[in-house]
A and B are shown apart, each in its own frame.
Chain A
Amino acid sequence: GAGVSQSPSNKVTEKGKDVELRCDPISGHTALYWYRQSLGQGLEFLIYFQGNSAPDKSGLPSDRFSAERTGGSVSTLTIQRTQQEDSAVYLCASSLGFRGGDQPQHFGDGTRLSIL
């Protein structure tokens, strides 16, 4: 497709279950980002990928969170043993590179995660 695609669009799960969120970036975009937006909050940076490599994982909230990217394309964000505070909208974005305003991020519509 032409834009960033995220799936599922909504996910409801019980506390303690694992969830996997998927992001298909725009073809040819080398940079991929994951953000989290909790209710009433701004976008919280989680992790970025340059190609398949994630040089900085310090934004991940805890070791229950992990992410990978394969083939320089699709990325998955996995949350293990989910907690209620993980409830949020998880947004993925991609860009051609890291030249800031010259190469702005394009966002998917997000996955709304609800932990019961």
Chain B
Amino acid sequence: DQQVKQNSPSLSVQEGRISILNCDYTNSMFDYFLWYKKYPAEGPTFLISISSIKDKNEDGRFTVFLNKSAKHLSLHIVPSQPGDSAVYFCAAITSGTYKYIFGTGTRLKVLA
């Protein structure tokens, strides 16, 4: 049973436009959500997180939106740059526990 799902395996976006990466979850006990970026042959790098008490968190070009009623979160990157081309993983955790649950990732390609 996959508790965190990224249903789009890949996404292509023109440079300068907005990239929207989506993530759905099933476990209502999750109260922290994170996005990681992964380049080939490197480990994932933490990008941004959001607590379930918020519905939006922004850091520069990256904004994460959380819709608890829909059990859905999204990562917006604007403007998209070629260097953003990578695999993006969303992850979720319940505070007080240790187990992060990761999605299967979405490969973003930003076209110059």
Contact = CB atoms under 8 A, between A and B. Distances in A.
B50 interface: yes
Contact of A109 (B41, B46, B49, B105): B41
B31 A100 contact: yes
Nearest to B46: A104
B104 A42 contact: yes
Interface residues of A, number: 28
Interface size class, chain B: 20 to 34
A55 to B, nearest CB: 8
Interface hub of B33, B43, B89, B99 (most chain A Cβ within 10 A) = B43
Contact of A56 (B45, B89, B96, B98): B98
Interface string B37-74: 00001111110011100000000000000000000000
A107 B45 contact: yes
